[in-house]
Structures are given as structure tokens and as C-alpha cells.
Chain A
Amino acid sequence: MTAEVEAAVAEAFHQEWGRVVATLIRVTGDWDLAEECAQEAFTLALERWPRDGLPGRPGAWLTTTARNRAVDRLRRRSTEAAKLREVAATAAVEASEDDAFGAGDSGVQDDRLRLIFTCCHPALPLEARVALTLRTLTGMTTAEIARAFLVTEATMAKRLVRAKGKISNAGIPYRVPPAHLLPERTGSVLAVLYLLFNEGYSASTGSDLVRWDLCAEAIRLARLLARLMPDEPEAYGLLALMLLHHSRRATRVDAAGGLVTLERQDRTRWNRGEIDEGVAVLEAALRHDRAGPYQLQAAIAACHATAADAADTDWTRIAELYRQLVRVVPSPIVRLNQAVAVAMADGPAAGLELVETLHASGALTGYHLLPATRADLLRRLGRRAEAARAYREALDLAPTEAERRYLADRLAETVPGGGD
């Protein structure tokens, strides 16, 4: 019973946190107050729901409760009488609108999109934009975000406090900006949405490999954004990319929670609808003839998604797309993926050459997929002892249980009985 209610609260937390915080920020204009009241509402849910039963619409319950807490708190701070009247008035108006809660989102008015654009204001430093969006939209703790960004919790806390302070002190407006200001924000909004998706698609911490709620939310917001910016092909490129990745979700993890690589996935269980939509969205984007990184990555994902089976994959085209992508995004991660594609198109030796160059550059030191890729290519070249060493190195660095299990299995295949 209690476990069931706890699970329901956890579910509501994943589903509703961003909406509750975003609404509270809009109503109160106070970011800290919004987070505190949202937290109190969730704590109260843990207390009340076991006793009173689950509310019909958890999101509406949480928003109303959080708003009531905000009114209480503002009432106690007697100096803010004007603000209080405003919030109470909004509460009265919106109480009637709560009936329509969940009946669909009103496009540009979406509070979460407003939140993202505010967090992505160019007057804030880039790393703070991403961190602040994750914090306010997903409810990830400061410690979790710090781990994802490889900085200390104290550093991340300072970054978040400073960003929130600047939003309020410098008067950064809480809104989706007018059309003429959209383009300069688009880049970082797209980056944040993709990060949000990736945080769900391959959770950086914990034992869960995936958090579908984050992926679904990122897709929903990308859809809104694409509709908001019909002339921005990269917005459509990002949407296509997410849909194409998401279409494989049912096959990425096996029943035991282990990672299943692309070539071993059961393609009959890929989501056809999402693949068709992803490909159609991508084609519409490519017609603008301004292929940026998201469109190129989506084109690569489309090659995988539309191949009848793994052997049928057009690796030559994928390697060519990576060559274009490296020109636009010369990051070491992209170069690592390029090496994998080249290995498939031209053989493991050609791929290994690129990986060794990367390895020597030291750019990806500490990133588990570098030794994991090296290990894989060495194994395919029959260099078992070197492969086993690289698998062990990768195992030490892998951040999730599922990935460690996958690597341990490959190590055992390479050196029977050598899985340590």
C-alpha cells in the first residue's frame, strides 16, 4: 500500500515536477520560492495520498497545493502585500482553469517552454543555462547535475545560485521571446533539449539505464519548438533525431536490464510510427538545404532505422555523414563515432587507426566508450590480449550497471573465464 503510493508520488514527480515549478515561477516570479513550494507539495502528497487516496489529477493537485503554499509564505512576508494580492488573484482565476488541466497544451503559452527560454537567455553563461534548465525542469538534484557535468556539488550550487540571482536582479523576463529574438536563443535551447533527452536516454547516474519520462518530455518540447519556429530546420532536425532514437526504446535493454547493441536489437519491435514520422520530419528539414549537426545526426539515425537488418546498413553513407558532421562539430565524441562507422564501412583496422589517434590525443581520457570501442575493434582484429586489457579499462570507467554488465559479457567472450 505505502510502496504503491510512494511509486505514484515518484511517478507524479517525474511527470509533473517541471510543470509545477514552471507554473509557480510564472505566478510568483520567485524561482527559489517556486522550488521550495513544489518540494513542499510533493512532501505533502507523500503524507496525504496514503490517507485520502490518489487524486484524480495528480498534476492539478500538486500545482494547487504548491500555489497555496506560495500564498501562505507570501502572506507571512508582510512586506510583499502587492505580490500576494497578485498571486492570490491569479490563483482564483486559474482554479477554474484547473478543470481543463491536462486537456492539452496551449502551444507557445506552455510554461515549461517559457522556462527553457528564460534559462537559455544569452545573458547567462552557457553552462549555467543547461544546468538551470535541468534543475528547474526535471527536479534533478544539484548533486546529480554536478555529477553529469563532472564538477563538484559546491561549484554547481554556486553556478545555479548565481544564475537565478542574475535572472531576478538583472530583470531577465520570464517568457518565450518575441520572434526577432528567437534565433539567437535557438542554439542553446536545442542543446538543452537534446541534453534533456540524452539524460533520459542514457542516464548519467544511478542503476536505471533510461528514464523515458525525460525522453518523452524532451520530444514534446521539441515538437512545440519546431511548431514555434517553422523556418528553423535544426529544430525539425532535433525532433527527427529524438524520434528516431526513441523508436528503438523497446529493444535497447533486455528483460534483465542489460544493454542490447544496435546490431543485436530486434528490429520488428522498433516503433514504425516514430520512424516514419522521424524520416518525414527530417526530409522536410533537409529541403531547407541548411544541414546542421542535428539534421546530420538524424540522417545517420535514419540510415539505421530504415535498414531491413543490421547487415543491410548503409555504412558507407553513414561514414560519409560522419565526415560532414566532424566538419561542423569537431568534438572527440563525434570523432569516436566516426571511427566506429569507418570500421564498419572500411574494416576494423581503418577504424582502429582513428581511435588510436583519439586515444593518443588524450581528449577522451576517463570516458568509458573510448576503451570500449578500442576493445571491440581489437577483438575483431583477433588481438585478444590487448582487447581484454581495454575491456577491463572500460569496465572501470562505465557509469551504469547495465553498461558494466554488457562490457563484462564481452570480456568473458574475449577471454573465456577472464571476466575477473
Chain B
Amino acid sequence: MRYVMFVCDNDSVGVPMEDADPAAWVREMDGRGVRLQGARLRPGSDATTVRVRGDEVLLSDGPFAETKEQIGGFDLIECDNLDEAIEIASKHPSARFGWVEVRPLWEE
């Protein structure tokens, strides 16, 4: 099954760079062949939110949800089941400081 991991951080918490570095995790999961794709995202301050209401395109600065916690990146993984997905997610350094949401892809 394929899952997307939303890797979430809390902006206000200062975490030492080396502890938050997911490079080792990426190497391990690429090596296991379970990580198909992934990327780090620019911070929420660089985001633009788009809504269309009627004929009007409404833009606003920043992420739609006004929270301090933001999606810092995502990974697309492929593994046997939720237990394996949880094991993979729990090894991501951000799980220790923020959290990781694991969401299955809509597949028929």
C-alpha cells in the first residue's frame, strides 16, 4: 500500500539542526526501497492559499490554518501495511519534535 507522510514541525521550538536532520532516515528508507518520493517544503510564510468562491479567486498570504504547527515536508512511501508505515514514520526525526501524519492514498 502507498501512504503519504505529512511531516509536521512546530516552528516555535528550536531544535538542534543535527537532531532534526532527516538525511539518515532518507538513506535508510531509500535503501529499504519503501520511500518512493519526498521533499522538504519552504516555510508557511512562503505559502499562498487559494480559494474560489463564485467567480472570484481569493488569495491569502500564508497557510489557511492559523497554527504554529506546519507541514514541513512530505514523503510518499510504499509498504505492506499500516504497522510498517507506522514503524517508518516513527523513525523520522520530526516525529520526536513534531509529529507525522500517515495517510493512505486513495487506491482502488
A positions within 8 Å CB-CB of B: 121, 123, 169-173, 177, 181
Chain B residues contacting A121 (CB-CB under 8 Å) are: 82
CA distance A169 to B104 in the complex (A): 7
Cβ distance A192 to chain B, nearest Cβ, rounded Å: 19
- Tell me whether A173 and B104 are in contact (CB under 8 A): no
Residues of B within 8 A of A172 (CB): 81-83
| Chain B interface helix/strand/loop/mixed | mixed
What are 15 A-B pairs at a CB distance below 8 A?
A121-B82, A123-B82, A123-B86, A170-B104, A171-B1, A171-B3, A171-B80, A171-B82, A172-B81, A172-B83, A173-B81, A173-B82, A173-B83, A177-B83, A181-B83
| Shortest distance from the beta carbon of A28 to any chain B beta carbon, whole Å | 17
Give the 3 A-B residue pairs with the shortest CB-CB distance, closest first: A173-B81, A171-B1, A171-B81
* Inter-chain contacts of B80 with A (CB < 8 A): 171, 173
Chain A CB within 10 Å — which of B3, B83, B85, B86 has the most?
B83
8 Å CB interface, B55-108 against A: 80-83, 85-86, 104
Instruction: Tell me the dominant secondary structure on chain A's binding face.
Output: loop
In the complex, A121 Cα to B82 Cα: how many Å?
Answer: 10
Closest to B108 in A: A79
B83 x A170 contact (CB < 8 A):
no
Q: Which residue of A lies closest to B1 (CB)?
A: A171
Report the minimum CB–CB distance from B77 to chain A (whole Å).
12
Given contacts A169-B104, A170-B82, A172-B81, 19 further A-B contacts (CB under 8 A): A121-B82, A123-B82, A123-B86, A170-B104, A171-B1, A171-B3, A171-B80, A171-B81, A171-B82, A171-B85, A171-B104, A172-B82, A172-B83, A173-B80, A173-B81, A173-B82, A173-B83, A177-B83, A181-B83
Could you tell me the distance between the alpha carbons of A289 and B81 in the complex, rounded to whole angstroms?
37
Q: Which of A169, A171, A177: most chain B Cβ within 10 A?
A: A171
- In whole angstroms, what is the CA distance A171 to B82 when docked? 5
Of chain B, the residue at the smallest CB distance from A79 is B108
A123 to B104, CA, bound (A): 13
Within the complex, the shortest CB–CB distance from B12 to chain A, in Å, comes to 28
Q: Which B-chain residue is minimally distant from A172 (CB atoms)?
A: B82
Most buried by B among A121, A170, A181: A170
**Please, which residue of chain B has its CB at the minimum distance from the CB of A123?**
B82
**A177 to chain B: closest residue by CB:** B83
Interface centre among B81, B82, B86, B104 (most CB of A within 10 A): B82
Q: How far is the CB of B74 from chain A (nearest CB, A)?
A: 17
Query: Which B3-23 residues have C-beta < 8 A from chain A?
Result: 3
Query: Which residues of B lie under 8 Å from residue A173 when comparing CB positions?
Result: 80-83
A-chain residues with CB within 8 Å of residue B83 when the two chains form the complex = 172-173, 177, 181
- Name the residue of chain A whose CB is nearest to the CB of B102: A170
Closest chain A residue, CB of each to CB of B85: A171
List of A residues within 8 angstroms of B1 by Cβ: 171
Output the least CB separation between B88 and chain A (Å). Answer: 13
Q: In the complex, A172 Cα to B80 Cα: how many Å?
A: 10
CB-CB under 8 A from B81, the residues of chain A are: 171-173
Residues of B with C-beta under 8 A to A169: 104
A181 to B82, CA, bound (A): 13
Query: Could you tell me the distance between the alpha carbons of A169 and B3 in the complex, rounded to whole angstroms?
Result: 11
Tell me the nearest residue of chain A to B104, going by C-beta.
A170
Distance, CA A177 to CA B3, complexed state (A):
20
Give every chain A residue within 8 A of B3 (Cβ-Cβ).
171
Distance in angstroms between the alpha carbons of A171 and B84 in the assembled complex: 10
Determine the chain A residues whose CB is within 8 A of the CB of B82 once the complex forms.
Answer: 121, 123, 170-173
Q: Give bound CA distance, A170 to B85, whole Å.
A: 10
Tell me the smallest distance from the CB of A109 to a CB of chain B, in Å. 18
Contacts of B104 in A (CB 8 A): 169-171
B80 CB → nearest A CB, Å: 7
